A and B are shown apart, each in its own frame.
Chain A
Amino acid sequence: MTVKLDELVDERQVLICCGSGGVGKTTTAAVLALEGARRGRNTCVVTIDPARRLADALGLEELTNQPTEIDRERWVGTDEHDVVPGGHLHALMLDTKSTFDKLVTRNATTDEQAQRILHNTFYRNVSGALGGTQEYMAMEKLHELYDEGGFDLIVVDTPPTRHALDFLEAPKRLTRLLDNRVFRLLMMPTRAYLKVASVAVQTFLRTVARVVGSEVIEDVVQFFRAFEGMEEGFRARAQAVDRLLGDPNTAFVLITSPRRDALEEATYFADQLDAAGQSVQALIVNRVHPSFGEESAAGLRATAAALRNDPGEPAHHLATLYDNLADFRDVATLERAHLDGLRESLGEGAAVAFVPYLAHDVYDFRALHEVARLLFATMPDQ
């Protein structure tokens, strides 16, 4: 039974938009949230690094960790009669560092412990946008909004990563770091352990220090010591996020363009999600070229050549027109062939929707409405 895009926006609580960079992920997330609000749901879109004009349209001048409601007049648009009453639209631009700070503060047993961590150099590096922290915090924010925000629908944009697992596994990463064998040993309070560990650990630390200097080691050791006793909280949180991602009310929406590189990444993404026990419920393909009729490119090119080379009366203008049509037919045919390949690997269950190549970039509500209309009206044209 194929899922419909309408169904996802009407019924699910969490939509996670994933895909590679440059395929219109953030815009699509905004469109889905707008559509949810239009259908009467209390909606929030979590964006990550949106293009400035889109951010402005959403009323996001800077990073905000609290969802900001967008004035109804701004998002309703011109077709108010089409809007179900009761909907609200909120937006938030992820602030990775302060999300992480909040997570630390909440899990710390004392205020002193929290401060020690927040001021640690290693922590400050980790909490910047490095090493999957952005993904981790996107998922953390999602969970927080889900728990406390009172939203009917949360749409999350994800950072452009090559590996779907980066955000699926992000919450587990810190706990894995905290579980690292060497550092566990380092923090073992019991003398017996120290005795066993000390030689190996000391040698090891000296080794690392030779490569990056001892200050770094000192920071790391301090960091792990400061975390003592907080692992459980983090582990529990990671599990909760995991459960939320696997919840039947959560859906993964894969966004792509029909270019081969983007599609290859999308296929790879879908496979990884599948391997992680998740499935893609919807595929949204942006920037699809029109089909430009049905004739074969080869036939059109032959006509062009005949027109151009006619010894009696060459028809150069017409030949150019036929060649041009052949070029666009090539694009359209290959795009559709590649898309079929991806649909096959997604299986029957996923909703598929297309957004045609638009003349203008999408950065205001008028354009977001236009995309929403196209998305929720399009039937696969093949």
Chain B
Amino acid sequence: MEVADFCSASHVVIVAGKGGVGKTTVTAALAVAAVRAGRSVLIAEVEGKSGLPAMFGAPRLGYDEIDLEPGIGARFLTPDAALVDYLVSHGMKRISKRLVASGALEVVATAVPGMKDILVLGKVKSIEESRAADLIIVDAPAAGHAITFLLSARGLLDAVRVGPVHKQAQDVVSLISDPARCQVLLVTLPEETPVSEVIETAFAIEDKAGVALGPVVINGCFARVPAGIGTTSAAVLDDARACHRFVSEREAADLAHAIAFREERHQLQHAQIDRLRAELPLPQIELPFVFSPDITRTQLDELATALTEGIERL
């Protein structure tokens, strides 16, 4: 599948996964891949303090959209601002001010579980309808919360039976349950616990929330060690001798340690990737391990290329 087609398949992509698996990185890489394919992107952050702007060398996100770079806009959707927005656009400006200023939103949000989620998703829906960008990527909260986040709309339909919030919940349900408008991209790591959790999350999202699932993105994969390369000091020294180079014992030990580490990781990861394939019938996209604890624009380019290749193989 071409990336451009992937972007048109559904205009809203919700990126979800357990904490620490790299949701924000995948969000950013997908945005870069989409822009390369000629699509405009809007990234919606739903949790504050994300590393997203730093990856692009941009300042903190606010509620209003900023450009991370040409073609990639981003904004931080807070429930408060989303509510005010909604009320203002529905002729309830006076109410909105009072609700927020009195702190009543806090009380009401506690009273109505999922209220905040619905306000944020409702805003995503109105952004989608206004065609603000070709592709809207939502960087969802961590896994457990992601399920609640997606279930909130259905839950709210029962809890709140009248008024604008009810209407909003209805609209959100129709958005997220329509595969032509919205899909969830799950992110995981090729390790035991994250794989088990992504399987559980996938079934919960599909069964309970009725949201279409896209491919699973597996982050941080170590490439296979090319055939013919030994992973012991002795093999490294042999190799050096064979091509008439000198490598000290100590250096050979370091070289062997690093290559053996990579090989071992690769094997362990593959066992998990195979298990994921067997237990979760979704297409997989592998992203390479980034040899830097920092993700900057350089690493994003590399990841966007891998993501593009992965999408093209779908």
Contact = CB atoms under 8 A, between A and B. Distances in A.
Contact of B112 (A21, A52, A125): A125
Interface string B13-50: 00000111100100000000000000000000001110
B69 interface: no
Nearest to A336: B293
Interface residues of B, number: 70
A292 B294 contact: no
B163 interface: yes
Contacts of A328: 258, 261-262, 291
Nearest to B223: A324
B115 A212 contact: yes
A177 B111 contact: no
Contacts, number: 190
A359 B99 CA distance: 52
A311 B13 CA distance: 49
A268 to B, nearest CB: 7
Interface in A116-147: 121-122, 125-126, 128, 130-131
Contact of A325 (B95, B226, B254): B254
Interface stretch (B129-137, B210-218, B236-244, B276-284): B236-244
Contacts of A334: 292-294
A160 B142 contact: yes
A313 B244 contact: yes
Interface string A191-228: 00000000000001001111111011001100000000
Contact of A335 (B108, B226, B268, B293): B293
Contacts of A210: 92, 95, 163-164
A182 B99 CA distance: 11
> Majority SS of interface residues in chain A?
helix
Nearest to A330: B291
B110 A318 contact: no
Interface string B188-218: 0001111011000000000000000000000
A286 to B, nearest CB: 11
B251 interface: yes
B111 A125 contact: yes
Given A208-B99, A321-B229, A22 B18 contact: yes
Interface in B102-129: 102-104, 106-113, 115
B251 A295 contact: yes
Interface string A256-273: 011111111100100000
Nearest to A339: B293
B110 A313 contact: no
A350 B80 CA distance: 38
B257 interface: yes
A120 to B, nearest CB: 10
A209 B143 CA distance: 32
A260 B18 contact: no
A275 interface: no
Contacts of B59: none
Interface in B132-185: 142, 144, 159-166
Contacts of B292: 330-331, 334
B255 interface: yes
A215 B107 contact: no
B199 to A, nearest CB: 11
Contact of B262 (A125, A162, A324): A324
Contacts of B197: 51
A118 B21 CA distance: 38
A360 interface: yes
A58 B295 CA distance: 36
Given A128-B113, A207-B95, A318 B104 contact: no
A183 B107 contact: yes
A292 B24 contact: no
Contact of A320 (B142, B160, B229): B229
Contact of B111 (A128, A220, A292, A322): A220
Contacts of A322: 255
Given A290-B261, A321-B255, A324-B258, A307 B245 contact: yes
Contact of B98 (A23, A207, A292): A207
A2 interface: no
B309 interface: no
A338 interface: yes
B259 interface: yes
B247 interface: yes
A338 B293 contact: yes
A211 B259 contact: no
B228 interface: yes
A166 to B, nearest CB: 13
Interface string A83-111: 00000000000000000000000000000
B18 A130 contact: no
Contacts of B193: 51, 53, 361, 363
28 contacts: A20-B19, A22-B18, A22-B20, A128-B113, A177-B107, A180-B107, A182-B107, A210-B92, A211-B87, A211-B165, A212-B108, A212-B112, A213-B165, A258-B293, A260-B293, A260-B295, A263-B293, A313-B243, A315-B240, A317-B228, A321-B236, A324-B225, A324-B258, A325-B254, A330-B292, A331-B293, A361-B193, A363-B192
Given A122-B111, A216-B108, A263-B293, 13 more contacts: A22-B20, A125-B110, A126-B111, A131-B110, A160-B19, A208-B99, A210-B92, A216-B159, A315-B245, A317-B243, A321-B259, A325-B254, A331-B293
Q: Which 7 A-B pairs have the closest CB atoms?
A: A22-B20, A21-B19, A293-B254, A361-B192, A327-B291, A315-B243, A22-B19
Interface of B: 18-21, 24, 47-49, 51, 87, 92, 95, 98-99, 102-104, 106-113, 115, 142, 144, 159-166, 191-194, 196-197, 225-226, 228-229, 236, 239-240, 243-245, 247, 250-251, 253-255, 257-259, 261-262, 264, 268, 291-295
Interface of A: 20-23, 49, 51-53, 121-122, 125-126, 128, 130-131, 160, 162, 177, 180-183, 204, 207-213, 215-216, 219-220, 257-265, 268, 290, 292-293, 295, 307, 313, 315, 317-318, 320-322, 324-325, 327-331, 334-335, 338, 359-361, 363
